[in-house]
């Protein structure tokens, strides 16, 4: 639908695929609401893992610059319309309680940076390059690009990458922490699948608690943080998965978590 594909399989793995390679998987007036709908439907299915990936040599080049030019002096209205469609869904993705794996199979820029780096695990091809691009066209960041870039590489480095708009190759992204792993292009899909299966086999409540602590922790006082830890641990302890996990540990066998 409008360059976006999505589904949740019977193993509980949700997939969102950018499929507009002829336009560099850009996000525009048509694809933005489609992506938001895809995220809404996938997250509503309560998957164990969500994978975000793309078809073609470019992961996502950001906004559709052709649409920007065609909008003329109404560019502000265009970007507002696109973001009003896209951001509610993107927020659901960024705040999903399950692990998010983004598979960055090629160059990424603009709004695509936010989509790529919002993953809990960002796997990249050695053909991946990151260019924020905003400064080159006189615009400011959107779709969380500056937020997630700063969260991963630090505020000062993120500001420099944004202001200079230089191309940053995969190995430099890895060294800076923008991505978690870099693989040869031929090996990326298999590596992503192995990670997805490992995460899918984990206890959902345990992973959700870890995500919440990681996201909310920096803004909490120590007292509030310890209280949240206690609350989440109690909730996990009430699950069947906790009983299975502790029994499996003593029995020296792999646990079989069911999500209960």
- Residues 94/143, Cβ–Cβ less than 8 Å: no
Domain boundary residue among 200, 215, 240?
200
Angle formed at CA 228 by CA 223 and CA 230, multiple of 5 degrees: 95
Q: Does the residue 211 lie in any domain?
A: yes
Domain boundary residue among 183, 200, 217?
200
pLDDT band at 131 (very low <50, low <70, confident <90, very high): very high
Q: pLDDT tens-digit profile of 217-256?
A: 999 999 999 999 999 999 999 999 999 999 999 999 999 9
- Residue 39 confidence (pLDDT): 98
140 plus 225 within the same structural domain: no
- Residue 2 confidence (pLDDT): 82
129 plus 242 within the same structural domain: no
Q: Answer yes or no: is pLDDT of 260 > 90.
A: no
93 plus 51 within the same structural domain: yes
Q: Answer yes or no: is pLDDT of 1 > 80.
A: no
Average pLDDT of span 139-160: 98
Q: Which of 115, 1, 121, 14 is nearest to 59 (CA)?
A: 115
- Structural domain boundaries, residue 115: 4-200
Q: Does the residue 260 lie in any domain?
A: no
Average pLDDT of span 80-109: 97
128 plus 218 within the same structural domain: no
209 plus 138 within the same structural domain: no
Q: Tell me, what CATH number does 22's domain have?
A: 3.90.226.10
Beta-carbon contacts of 61 under 8 Å, excluding residues fewer than 6 positions away, are 24, 25, 26, 107, 108, 109, 110, 112
Beta-carbon contacts of 12 under 8 Å, excluding residues fewer than 6 positions away, are 47, 48, 49, 200, 259
133 plus 59 within the same structural domain: yes
pTM for this structure? 0.95
53 plus 162 within the same structural domain: yes
12 plus 133 within the same structural domain: yes
Backbone angles phi, psi at 247, to 5 degrees: -65, -40
Q: pLDDT tens-digit profile of 20-62?
A: 999 999 999 999 999 999 999 999 999 999 999 999 999 999 9
Q: Number of structural domains, the chain?
A: 2
149: three-class secondary structure by DSSP = helix
39 plus 83 within the same structural domain: yes
């Amino acid at each position: 639908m409008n360059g976006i594909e999505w589904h949740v399989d019977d193993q509980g793995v949700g997939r969102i695929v950018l499929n507009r390679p002829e336009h560099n998987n850009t996000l525009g007036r048509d694809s933005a609401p489609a992506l938001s709908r895809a995220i809404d439907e996938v997250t509503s299915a309560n998957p164990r893992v969500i994978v975000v990936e793309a078809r073609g040599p470019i992961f996502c080049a950001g906004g559709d610059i052709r649409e920007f030019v065609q909008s003329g002096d109404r560019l502000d209205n265009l970007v507002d319309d696109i973001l009003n469609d896209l951001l509610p869904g993107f927020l659901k993705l960024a705040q999903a309680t399950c692990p998010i794996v983004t598979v960055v199979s090629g160059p990424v820029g603009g709004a695509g940076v936010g989509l790529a780096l919002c993953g809990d695990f960002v796997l990249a091809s050695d053909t991946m390059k990151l260019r924020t691009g905003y400064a080159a066209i006189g615009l400011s960041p959107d779709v969380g690009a500056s937020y997630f870039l700063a969260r991963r590489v630090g505020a000062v480095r993120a500001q420099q990458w944004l202001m200079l708009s230089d191309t940053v190759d995969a190995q430099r992204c890895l060294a800076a922490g923008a991505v978690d792993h870099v693989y040869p292009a031929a090996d990326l899909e298999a590596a992503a699948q192995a990670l997805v299966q490992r995460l899918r086999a984990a206890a959902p409540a345990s992973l959700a608690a870890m995500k919440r602590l990681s996201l909310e922790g920096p803004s909490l006082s120590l007292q509030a943080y310890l209280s949240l830890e206690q609350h989440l641990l109690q909730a996990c302890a009430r699950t069947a998965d906790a009983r299975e996990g502790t029994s499996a540990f003593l029995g020296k066998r792999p646990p079989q978590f069911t999500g209960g």
